[in-house]
Structure 1
Amino acid sequence: MTSAAPSIHASAVRVGELAVLIRGPSGSGKSRLAFDLILAGRSGQLPQAVLVGDDRVHLATRGGEMWVSPAPALAGLIEIRGLGIRSCDHVSEAKLGLVVDLMAEDAARLPNAESLFVHLNGIELPRIPVGPGFSPLPLVAAALITSMTSCSGNLSDDCVRQIGNHISPTIATE
């Protein structure tokens, strides 16, 4: 992958076969989430996870897919708050599969469908908007190990109004 495209302020981690792109303002926790994903991969909570890049990465579109690579000067480096800049195993590129936006203004308990996707360079990708004060790791883990589903008959009447309990009180006996 060439680095001719300008870099963007983001971090990326390959989890399994696909990369998670982590965006957000300075100080929002991009490096922390990247390291949390790596740790979750090492502990077996997620598929193997390895750093692509921290702080600055390059995006490129190839064959209808989005690829991410580290900024060359920062390859293999990650900031660990309280320890400083550290060396870390990394990969030179990975196919992008998920975008996480930290401190997202459109984060919601039950997000609308439009906020769960983003278009980058003409490629539509799944997206997780994470609001201030929420830990992103459980959301990212859930997105990686579960699948989206539509409402089923087992949801309570409150679900369609997006309030109250979402699982029928009799689901255990149905």
Structure 2
Amino acid sequence: MSQLSSDLLHASCVAIGGQAVLLSGRSGTGKSDLALRLIDRGAVLVSDDYTEVRRRDRKLYATPPARIVGKIEVRGIGIVDMPHLAEAEVALLIDLDGAVERMPEAATRRLAGIEVPVFTLAPLEASAPIKVELLLKALAR
């Protein structure tokens, strides 16, 4: 039997190699900026600014709210149409609001009843997109 549960998060989301990365933070923290830089490196937009996460068959999936499908806000330009995925399985949550620790302990956050690995990064650092990719590779091991 399939269990359904969902949450709406204040998070942008991109898929890297088919795996969804949630970029969570307050308005103005750099969610869309980091998403745009990841897209430039080959990621695909799932949603910008808000993401619905749904538990289905013990997995968590990210989808865009209907009103923002295929759109991303680019500060200084406006709303831009962007190729997107309708859904991707969540692998990781990046917290853009917290203090970045030099050597962080493993942490998770419960979303729609599923524990998701969470790491805190400074979104506007030049290395932030590379750090996201490195985290995904490390989690895949």
Q: Distance in 2 between matches of 1:128 and 1:24?
A: 12
**Which residue of structure 2 lines up, in the alignment, with residue 159 of structure 1?**
none
Residue in structure 2 matching 1:111, options 90, 104, 112: 104
Give the unaligned 5+ runs of structure 1: 42-48, 150-174
Deviation for aligned residue 1:71: 0.8
Amino-acid identity (%): 38
Cα 1:131–1:22 change in 2 (3 A) is: same
Give the unaligned 5+ runs of structure 2: none
Q: Distance in 2 between matches of 1:53 and 1:86?
A: 12
Q: Which has the higher contact order (CA 8 A, sep 6+)?
A: 2
Deviation for aligned residue 1:20: 0.4
Cα 1:5–1:62 change in 2 (3 A) is: closer
**Which TM-score applies when normalising by structure 1?**
0.70
Residue in structure 2 matching 1:90, options 72, 84, 94: 84
Matched, 1:72 2:63: no
Deviation for aligned residue 1:61: 0.3
Cα 1:78–1:132 change in 2 (3 A) is: closer
Q: Distance in 1 between matches of 2:84 and 2:114?
A: 25
Deviation for aligned residue 1:112: 1.6
**Which residue of structure 2 lines up, in the alignment, with residue 154 of structure 1?**
none
**Residues 47-66 of structure 1 mapped to structure 2, 5 A cutoff:** 49-66=43-60
1:16-54: CA deviations, max 9, x gaps? 12100110011000001111111111xxxxxxx211100
**Contact 2:34-2:123 within 8 A present in 1 as well:** no
**Contact 1:54-1:74 within 8 A present in 2 as well:** yes
Between Structure 1 and Structure 2, the one with more strand by share is: 2
**Which TM-score applies when normalising by structure 2?**
0.85
Matched, 1:139 2:139: no
Larger radius of gyration: 1
Letter in 2 for 1:109: R
SS, match of residue 38 in structure 2 = helix
**Which residue of structure 1 lines up, in the alignment, with residue 34 of structure 2?**
33
Letter in 1 for 2:94: V
